[in-house]
Amino acid sequence: MKVSPAFKRRLQWINLPTAALIALLQRAPVVRVLVATEEFVLSTPIGALLKSSVAAAATLGTVHSLAGATALSTSQASPLSVAVGTTVSVGFAITGTLSEPETWTVSGSVPPGLSFNGGATSGTINAAQLLLSGTATTAGSYNINLSARDTPTGNTTPVYTFTINVTGAAASAPAITTQPQNQSGNVGANVTLTVATSGSPAPTLQWRRNGADVAGGTSASLMLANLQPANAGLYAAVATNSAGSATSQAAMVGVATTSKVVGDGQELQPVNIVHPNGNIFDQVLLIGVAETITADTGQVTRTSYIDTDNDIVQVEFSGPGTLSLVLSGSSGPAAPVNYNQAVNYMKGHAGIVITGANENTNVSVFTVGRATAFDPTGAYNILQAPNSTTNNPANNGSSLFQGHGSTAYDGIADIAFIAISSTNGRFGGVRTSNATYFASAGWTGVYAPGVTFDGPVFIGDISAFDNAKPVILLGTATNVRITGGDLAQNNGQPVQVSGMTQLAFTAGSDSGGTTLVRQTNQAVLQRDGQDVTNQLVVYQ
């Protein structure tokens, strides 16, 4: 046979003796197709996909030669039958030419959910080989017509038809048909969360706690065995199939106990401390990742840790129910770098779950600063409003601040969320004017759907990062404020709200007594998918 100089150069490029290949080319047409095109068909990722099918076809003599030795080679035979929701991957190459084609022309119908290189479904595609891939979403019979152009010769192959038959119902996105419900159990008990979904194909499930995947949580039921304070949090199920995904509502998991503290908390002595305002409180120091606390009747339990800005944070809880506090990104215990105190604290970002509450339950969060710390010298009175003349926080003589005259305090508590469930649908108040809520996953803000607040809901600010969802979800509340914040969301998400007729933006202050001027709202407030910003925002 006669071999062109150009083809001889190709034989040298693949490092095989010319005479040996000529001998091969004088064999049957099927083998001739395979050998002459191995240089380009098998040297790419799509070529690798084709390799096994082309080799097998050559052995059996089943490569279809439609125009001399030129043929369409595919990684799967036509017609190809698949079910809705099936992942499809088919490679296409032209064999029997002396060079790679540079363009393909595609027409006909491509099954919805599939596409060629670069997302194309028709027209001219610049590629040596084609890969059709994706997930079939719609039943039907689809004929795809393909031809390729051999640039050096100017020849165009015949039109080849590849058929894909897709069976089954059209794919439908997942939906949550039964939402998981709040759960609470004693330490050591088992609690179970359940969810029900619909969708075609059947969705896969992944449970998440505070936005992070729960290991092994991939079924409709999630059992938390041997419940501990560290299990407290907001749980949701994510259902996913080829048509989309859906996330359930959050379900709170809390810990029930009658003990003052369980988990990683240590009650400090003395107890029954009388505050200058007349309240009686006990103190609990967080010494690990998670704790659950209760309050004696008519008293306050105060628990302490250090936040990500090195402020000592005080969480005060009173009334029925339990408060579970869990740190993420924790470290310690270690000495407080911004305070003069011989106490070792845990450090981290806190999420708080309150369960078993009623209208007599209250929570507050603030940081220790010169405007909030008791001054035994009397130079500053925490019961009076701070000012720069007669009651200046800068004059606070507490030993906590000795040696820290030049220390710059953030003065704002950092927390992820407060979630509240109630035995009778009511709660006292949430006083977190001196706190900013933020998170990069899960929910951030106040999560208390269906709960009526007899007292205020004061929030310093909320900011969601990455995949977090900012929320102020309440049952009913008449006094809801943003104190010094602007609700700007780093990830651009709308703030989901419920249960309020207005959201007041007011001034606030840090724990050093510095006034935080009232800000202008920067958020979109959304209720049940509707923008209600203009209906709710007021400035006071």
pLDDT above 50: residue 59? no
Cα 372 to Cα 495: distance, rounded to the nearest angstrom: 30
pLDDT of residue 153: 72
Is residue 329 classed as helix, strand or coil in its secondary structure?
strand
pLDDT of residue 26: 35
Q: Count CA within 13 A, CB hemisphere, residue 454.
A: 13
Measured torsion, CA atoms of residues 465, 252, 483, 461, in degrees rounded to the nearest 10: -10
Model pTM? 0.75
Closest CA to 324 of 215, 414, 227: 227
Residue-wise pLDDT tens digits, 448-494:
999 999 999 999 999 999 999 999 999 999 999 999 999 999 999 99
Long-range Cβ pairs for the range 110-117 (8 Å, 24+): 110/142, 110/144, 111/136, 111/137, 111/138, 111/140, 111/142, 111/164, 111/166, 112/136, 112/137, 112/138, 113/137, 113/138, 113/171, 113/242, 114/88, 114/164
Q: What is the pLDDT of residue 57?
A: 39
| Single-letter amino acid code for the residue at 298 | G
5-167: CATH, from 2.40.400.10, 2.60.40.10, 2.102.10.10, 3.40.50.300:
2.60.40.10
Does 68 have pLDDT greater than 80? no
Beta partners for residue 44, in sequence order:
none
Contact 160, 168 (CB under 8 A): no
Instruction: For residues 517-524, give the mean pLDDT.
Output: 99
Token pair of 100, please?
């790679």
| pLDDT > 80? residue 67 | no
Q: What is the pLDDT of residue 16?
A: 37
C-alpha dihedral over 417, 365, 355, 303, to 10 degrees? 120
CA distance 263 to 283: 15
- How far apart are the C-alpha atoms of 82 and 71, rounded to whole Å? 24
User: Which region among 51-60, 180-189, 194-203, 515-524 has the lowest average model confidence (pLDDT)?
Assistant: 51-60
Lowest mean pLDDT among 27-41, 97-111, 406-420: 27-41
Confidence category of residue 174, pLDDT binned at 50, 70, 90: very high
Domains 5-167 and 172-255 share a fold: yes
d(CA 373, CA 454): 28
- At position 472, the amino acid (one-letter code) is I
In the chain, domain spans: 5-167, 172-255
Percentage of the residues of the chain whose pLDDT score is greater than 90:
76
Given a cut of 50, is residue 39 above it in pLDDT? no
Give me the mean pLDDT over the 317-346 stretch: 98
* Mean per-residue pLDDT, 347-369: 99
Mean pLDDT to the nearest integer, 378-385: 94
In this prediction, residues 410-433 reach a mean pLDDT of 99
User: Whole-number mean pLDDT of the chain?
Assistant: 88
Give the per-residue pLDDT at 155. Answer: 79
Residue type, 456: P
What band does 97 get if pLDDT is binned at 50, 70 and 90?
A: low
Q: What pLDDT is stored for residue 171 in this prediction?
A: 79
Q: Residue for token digits 């689809």?
A: 142
pLDDT, residue 11, reads: 36
Closest CA to 354 of 307, 305, 318: 318
Most confident of 43-47, 156-160, 324-328: 324-328
Q: What is the pLDDT of residue 401?
A: 97
Instruction: Evaluate if residue 169 carries a pLDDT over 80.
Output: no
Nearest one of 448, 111, 436 to 254, comparing CA atoms: 448
What pLDDT score does 247 carry? 97
The pLDDT tens digits for 76-89 are: 999 999 988 888 99
Taking only the tens place, the pLDDT of each residue in 115-134 is: 999 899 999 998 888 999 99
Indicate the residue type of 241: N
At 201 the pLDDT is: 86
pLDDT attached to residue 37: 36
Task: Say what the pLDDT of residue 98 is.
Answer: 63
What is the arithmetic mean of pLDDT over 261-268?
98
- 172-255 folds as Immunoglobulin-like (2.60.40)
- Can you tell me the mean pLDDT for 149-165? 85
On the question of pLDDT at 36 being above 70, the answer is no
Whole-number pLDDT of residue 71: 75
Give the residue-averaged pLDDT of 153-177.
89
